[in-house]
């Protein structure tokens, strides 16, 4: 009987040591480290094309290069381009979205363009791979959405 009690007591002590030593150990990994991808600052330079145009052969297209953004009205399936906006571009410095900047119109380029905006500034926003801004023509304002090509 004494041996049986001693065996049970030894088993309980061994079990408690195993349980409590597991509680005090520190984890070496949370399991999320290998799957975590760090968002990168988006590169907005390049060619952009309107994705919400109501016509396949008439849309807006933009080019971002250096510190400028140039936006055109495009028609005739791409054969005709008319300047809409020539302005400043401020590249994002973080990966935070949405990212917006106030583009300043380069009136020396837009003043003689018949279809160009006469606004002094235009707020342009980047979010989820899309550039968006408001464009007005003949009393109608629409939100233009451009996707990188």
Q: Are 77 and 57 in contact (CB under 8 A)?
A: yes
Q: What is the pLDDT tens value at each position of the chain, 149 positions in all?
A: 556 544 454 444 443 343 444 444 455 555 554 556 789 999 999 999 999 999 999 999 999 999 999 999 999 999 999 999 999 999 999 999 999 999 999 999 999 999 999 999 999 999 999 999 999 988 999 999 999 99
For 135, residues 6+ apart whose C-beta sits below 8 A from its C-beta are: 60, 84, 117, 141, 142, 143, 144
User: What residue segments make up the domains of the chain, in order of their start?
Assistant: 46-148
Q: Give the residues across from 139 on adjacent strands.
A: none
pTM > 0.85: yes or no: no
């Amino acid at each position: 009987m004494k041996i049986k009690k001693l065996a049970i007591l030894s088993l309980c002590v061994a079990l408690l040591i195993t349980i409590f030593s597991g509680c005090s150990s520190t984890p070496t990994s949370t399991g999320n480290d290998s799957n975590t991808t760090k968002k990168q600052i988006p590169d907005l330079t390049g060619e952009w094309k309107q994705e919400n145009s109501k016509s396949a052969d008439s849309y807006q297209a933009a080019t971002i290069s250096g510190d400028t953004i140039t936006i055109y009205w495009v028609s005739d399936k791409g054969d005709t381009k008319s300047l809409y906006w020539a302005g400043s571009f401020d590249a994002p410095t973080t990966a935070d979205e949405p990212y917006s900047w106030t583009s300043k119109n380069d009136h020396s380029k837009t003043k003689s363009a018949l279809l160009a905006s006469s606004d002094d500034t235009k707020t342009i926003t980047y979010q989820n791979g899309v550039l968006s801004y408001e464009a007005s023509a003949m009393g109608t304002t629409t939100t233009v959405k451009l996707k990188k090509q």
